Amino acid sequence: MAATRAVPRAREIFNTLEYGPVPESHACALAWLDTLDRCLGHYVNGKWLKPEHRNSVPCQDPITGENLATCLQAQAEDVVAAAEASRTALENWSGVPGASRAQHLTRLAKMIQKHQRLLWTLESLVTGRAVREVRDRDIPLAQQLLQHYAVQAHTQEEALAGWEPMGVIGLILPPTFSFLEMMWRICPALAMGCTVVVLVPPASPTPLLLAQLAGELGPFPGILNMISGPASLGPVLASQPGVQKVAFCGAVEEGRALRRTLAGIGPELGLALGAESLLLLTETADVDSAVEGIVDAAWSDRSPGGLRLLIQESVWDETMRRLQARMGRLRSGRGLDGAVDMGVRGAAAYELAQRYVCEAQSQGAQVFQAGDVPLDSPFFPPTLVSDLPPASPCTQAEVPWPLVVASPFRTAKEALAMANGTPRGGSASVWCERLGQALELGYRLQMGTVWINAHGLRDPAVPTGGCKESGSSWHGGLDGLYEYLQPSGTPARLPYLSENMNYDTFGLAVPSTLPAGPETGPSPAPPYGLFVGGRFQAPGSRSSRPIQDSHGNLHGYVAEGGAKDIRGAVEAAHQAAPGWVSQSPGTRAALLWALAAALERRESTLALRLERQGVELKAAKAEVELSVRRLRAWGARAQTQGHYLQVTELRGPVLRLREPLGVLAIVCPDEWPLLAFVSLLALALAYGNTVVLVPSGTCPFPVLDVCQDMATLLPVGLVNVVTGDRDHLTRCLALHQDVQALWYFGSAQGSQFVEWASAGNLKPVWVNRGCPRAWDQEAKGTGPELELRAARTKSLWLPMGD
């Protein structure tokens, strides 16, 4: 350890020119802990809460093991108290003008500025991270976040008219992340008028200090409440009355478990999972700079996770030589030393890294470790793993801190296949000096953030999120705001948990159907079959289901779709996806307009179908007309997507891209059988998704009529319609690992099942919780909320300079 090395005199140093210790005094952190009698409780309603008879855990210096303080562990009743305080504060806080909230946030930013030394020494002391990183990056970024969102709050009434704050937000934080992760989420939530309960892991005093600073500002004490306790209290927090959203960041498996636990509980769930990043180094890269990018990504105490490194084979040797030489100059030591690159992360992170290294070695990998690392303590050296066989378990697993796992690739195409071939979709950087190739890779990487020739840049104005198993919530930028907003007038999210829900059997079996008499009525015979891969097909079950009209007479039969049909439909949609994504927005718009024209031609048939289901003819005609308008409206909006952002610390633009979700499954509501179908379909197609769709259960015929037009107008496989038992089809879709998003409008039970089952591949879901939606209203049918649902954001950073 640096501090205990014998101190050489100037003469000796003159000869060796070695680095010495540069200790940062942490006296002020200890003094702050003294003011709390070295006992940390919770911070609720502007006051410290130290309930009696609680378990406590020690807060230790991660290097010396010295006890710095004890931390009380929360129990359920403490969570109740915090949620209560947030609920009380909400009325006041969400009611004040945005300008006042802006002022309050600005004051908090100034408060942080005034006490920054306390913040950075405390954070570095307790977490073991290099003080340089906390001081030069985290603290300034925390202030920038507050200022950025203060501006957003100031203009909220104008810029975000039609939106209102969601309510009380629950935030669950993992033990290994910096306090900055909390700031990314509480700043937009507070700015928009939400109040927050944060569940911080035990022994993390920095968030508590921030809560205290915020609480001491005065008039709004209860807006930020901090509870220190285990993550197992998460479900308790989520089920508190008034909690409308739970934001979680942490490990993938924990997120998955939370998704399952919270199914049907009520609040929305925003997940940001995993910490691995990716770096792709092509043969035209500035290799030395890319090596610095690797250092930034893995060995700078910046990212909480490890790095997967893909190197083009032609520059493999050169890169390895440079990387290994660079690793030799890294310094690791006490976080509070001003001249180290890496601090420590505690015993758990150490063991995780050690286990990965041992397993990788046993699977045949080469492990290279280097750097100036103290031997006598929990320091883990910078580690480079290579030659890992492609199919070994370690290749699939998430790379832990502070490891870099390198693999070669031959062509850019292969690099994309490798990079996109993992369930993770967080962040990546591309190192490449050829503009065309760099953009190609940047656009086609399935990631939330891509940096070109840089790694790890962050800015409050840029949305950061992920796709696939990295979760689908965003922080930063406008997308970060919408996480905490809802369209005005949205009813409160209440639990809709079904007591007798059995996830194993829901929708498992299809009740058998029998012939139900002759088809009657004036309307033309509806088309029959599943619309899959551009044509009508017989269902795998070779059976049909009768559909009655509003008088109880048989209207017609639809095909009884099943698991195999869903599989076929999803495959067809996947095959159509690359073609549809690469279509220009103009082409998409043209096709939607052509479909609108076709609908117009079919108006009388469609109206008759609706009429037989009990809709008055006038209303039925109006529904068809409105459907036509919706198609045209979404077609027009397909042309205006994405924009670019100007960022403070970057020369060059950041592109905010809106990318399709992929293969999107839509279970249409029973109500508004034509309008809801058209609204959802047009929205999905406008944003480049391909669709597997289950039409209204009571009135599927108008959809099948439209399929006849889609067969001639749309590319094969773009839209697939499967009829049948809705619960069964929902089950198949929700459990399908290759369905990339799911919208469900049906029963409360079905919604709960969808939420539960989505944990499998963590697909984003949109469920109606059994509540009907007024599709004829503009806000509900074409509102901005829908646009947010239909695509995901990707940030592409393009630094410039020569």
Partner 1 sequence: MSAYNPGTELDLSWISKIQVNQPAVLRRAEQIQARRTVKKEWQAAWLLKAVTFIDLTTLSGDDTPSNVQRLCYKAKYPIREDLLKALNMHDKDITTAAVCVYPARVCDAVKALKAAGCTIPVASVATGFPAAQTHLKTRLQEIILAVEDGAMEIDVVINRTLVLTGQWEALYDEIRQFRKACGKAHLKTILATGELGSLTNVYKASMIAMMAGSDFIKTSTGKETVNATFPVAIVMLRAIRDFFWKTGNKVGFKPAGGIRSAKDSLAWLSLMKEELGEEWLKPELFRIGASTLLSDIERQIYHHVTGRYAAYHDLPMS
Q: What is the largest CA-CA distance in the chain?
A: 106
Among residues 358, 538, 617, 800, the one that binds partner 1 under rule CB under 8 A: 800
Where does this chain touch partner 1 (CB under 8 A) — which range of 4-12, 416-424, 604-612, 630-638? 4-12
Among residues 652, 715, 783, 784, the one that binds partner 1 under rule CB under 8 A: 652
Nearest-angstrom CA–CA distance, 359 and 536: 51
Nearest-angstrom CA–CA distance, 261 and 755: 9
Among residues 9, 491, 514, 515, the one that binds partner 1 under rule CB under 8 A: 9
- Is 801 one of the binding residues for partner 1 (CB under 8 A)? yes
Cβ distance to partner 1 smaller for residue 222 or 374: 374
Contacts (CB under 8 A) with partner 1, residues 660-699? none
Cβ distance to partner 1 smaller for residue 344 or 661: 344
Query: To the nearest whole angstrom, how small is the minimum distance from the Cβ of residue 133 to partner 1?
Result: 9
* Residue 442 neighbours by CB under 8 Å, 6+ apart: 430, 450, 452, 796, 798
Among residues 6, 11, 491, 511, the one that binds partner 1 under rule CB under 8 A: 11
3-state secondary structure of 130: coil
Q: Which helix (H) or strand (E) holds 756?
A: helix 748-757
What one-letter code names the amino acid at 318? E
Cβ distance to partner 1 smaller for residue 7 or 508: 7
Cβ distance to partner 1 smaller for residue 196 or 281: 281
Pattern 22-41, binding to partner 1, x per CB under 8 A?
Answer: x-------------------
Hunting for tokens 């059995």 — which residue is that? 502
* Counts for the chain of helices (H) and strands (E), in that order: 29, 31
Query: To the nearest whole angstrom, how small is the minimum distance from the Cβ of residue 112 to partner 1?
Result: 20
- Is 644 one of the binding residues for partner 1 (CB under 8 A)? no
Among residues 114, 329, 618, 643, the one that binds partner 1 under rule CB under 8 A: 329
What one-letter code names the amino acid at 644? Y
Query: To the nearest whole angstrom, how small is the minimum distance from the Cβ of residue 296 to partner 1?
Result: 8
- Is 372 one of the binding residues for partner 1 (CB under 8 A)? no
* Residue 772 neighbours by CB under 8 Å, 6+ apart: 669, 671
* Residue 13 neighbours by CB under 8 Å, 6+ apart: 20
Cβ distance to partner 1 smaller for residue 380 or 431: 431
303 φ/ψ angles, rounded to the nearest 5 degrees: -95, 145
Cβ distance to partner 1 smaller for residue 372 or 776: 372
What interhelical angle do 585-601 and 617-637 show, nearest 10? 170
Query: To the nearest whole angstrom, how small is the minimum distance from the Cβ of residue 162 to partner 1?
Result: 39
Contacts (CB under 8 A) with partner 1, residues 187-206? none
Pattern 35-74, binding to partner 1, x per CB under 8 A?
Answer: ----------------------------------------
Where does this chain touch partner 1 (CB under 8 A) — which range of 188-196, 288-296, 602-610, 657-665? 288-296
Pattern 433-452, binding to partner 1, x per CB under 8 A?
Answer: x-------------------
Query: To the nearest whole angstrom, how small is the minimum distance from the Cβ of residue 454 to partner 1?
Result: 6
Where does this chain touch partner 1 (CB under 8 A) — which range of 15-23, 468-476, 505-513, 602-610? 15-23
Nearest-angstrom CA–CA distance, 215 and 225: 9
Among residues 105, 278, 445, 454, the one that binds partner 1 under rule CB under 8 A: 454
Query: To the nearest whole angstrom, how small is the minimum distance from the Cβ of residue 488 to partner 1?
Result: 43
Nearest-angstrom CA–CA distance, 11 and 9: 5
**Residue among 82, 10, 330 at smallest CA distance from 226:** 82
Cβ distance to partner 1 smaller for residue 290 or 694: 290
CB neighbour burial string for 198-237, b if at least 16 within 10 angstroms, e if fewer:
bbbbbbbbbbbbbbbbbbebeebbbbbbbbbbebebbbbb
Among residues 13, 159, 348, 771, the one that binds partner 1 under rule CB under 8 A: 13
Q: How many CB atoms lie within 10 A of CB 601?
A: 10
Residue 748, CB-side half-sphere exposure with 13 Å CA sphere = 13
Hunting for tokens 């969601």 — which residue is that? 166
CB neighbour burial string for 349-377, b if at least 16 within 10 angstroms, e if fewer:
bbebbeebbeebeebebebbebbbbbeee
Among residues 338, 389, 393, 614, the one that binds partner 1 under rule CB under 8 A: 338
Tell how strand 653-660 and strand 791-797 pair up. antiparallel
Return the CA Rg of the chain: 28
Query: To the nearest whole angstrom, how small is the minimum distance from the Cβ of residue 170 to partner 1?
Result: 37
- Is 802 one of the binding residues for partner 1 (CB under 8 A)? yes
* Residue 408 neighbours by CB under 8 Å, 6+ apart: 310, 311, 312, 313, 316
Pattern 293-312, binding to partner 1, x per CB under 8 A?
Answer: x-------------------
Where does this chain touch partner 1 (CB under 8 A) — which range of 194-202, 282-290, 558-566, 579-587? 282-290
Residue 466, class by beta-carbon neighbours within 10 Å (0-12 exposed, 13-18 middle, 19+ buried)? Answer: buried
Query: To the nearest whole angstrom, how small is the minimum distance from the Cβ of residue 314 to partner 1?
Result: 11
* Residue 787 neighbours by CB under 8 Å, 6+ apart: 637, 683, 687
662 φ/ψ angles, rounded to the nearest 5 degrees: 120, -130
- Is 651 one of the binding residues for partner 1 (CB under 8 A)? yes
Cβ distance to partner 1 smaller for residue 282 or 472: 282
Cβ distance to partner 1 smaller for residue 715 or 799: 799
Nearest-angstrom CA–CA distance, 721 and 730: 13
- Is 284 one of the binding residues for partner 1 (CB under 8 A)? yes
Distances 161 to 86, 157, 425 between C-alpha atoms, Å:
24, 5, 32
**Residue among 133, 128, 232 at smallest CA distance from 180:** 133
- Is 136 one of the binding residues for partner 1 (CB under 8 A)? yes
Where does this chain touch partner 1 (CB under 8 A) — which range of 10-18, 162-170, 218-226, 472-480? 10-18
Cβ distance to partner 1 smaller for residue 182 or 454: 454
Where does this chain touch partner 1 (CB under 8 A) — which range of 1-9, 73-81, 96-104, 548-556? 1-9
- Is 285 one of the binding residues for partner 1 (CB under 8 A)? yes
Tokens of 683: 């929205």
Q: Are 643 and 722 in contact (CB under 8 A)?
A: no
Among residues 36, 76, 217, 339, the one that binds partner 1 under rule CB under 8 A: 339
What one-letter code names the amino acid at 367? V
- Is 316 one of the binding residues for partner 1 (CB under 8 A)? no
Among residues 288, 313, 351, 616, the one that binds partner 1 under rule CB under 8 A: 288
Query: To the nearest whole angstrom, how small is the minimum distance from the Cβ of residue 448 to partner 1?
Result: 22
Q: Are 421 and 267 in contact (CB under 8 A)?
A: no
Cβ distance to partner 1 smaller for residue 142 or 607: 142
Examine residue 402 and say whether the peptide bond preceding it is cis (omega within 30 degrees of 0): yes
Nearest-angstrom CA–CA distance, 68 and 55: 17
- Is 6 one of the binding residues for partner 1 (CB under 8 A)? no
Q: Which helix (H) or strand (E) holds 475?
A: none
Count the residues of the shown chain that bind partner 1, applying the rule CB under 8 A: 41
3-state secondary structure of 414: helix
Among residues 138, 276, 341, 479, the one that binds partner 1 under rule CB under 8 A: 341
Cβ distance to partner 1 smaller for residue 208 or 290: 290
Cβ distance to partner 1 smaller for residue 499 or 802: 802
Cβ distance to partner 1 smaller for residue 292 or 600: 292
Provide the binding-site residues for partner 1, judged by CB under 8 A. 7-14, 16-22, 132, 136, 284-290, 292-293, 321, 329, 338-339, 341, 431, 433, 453-454, 651-652, 799-802
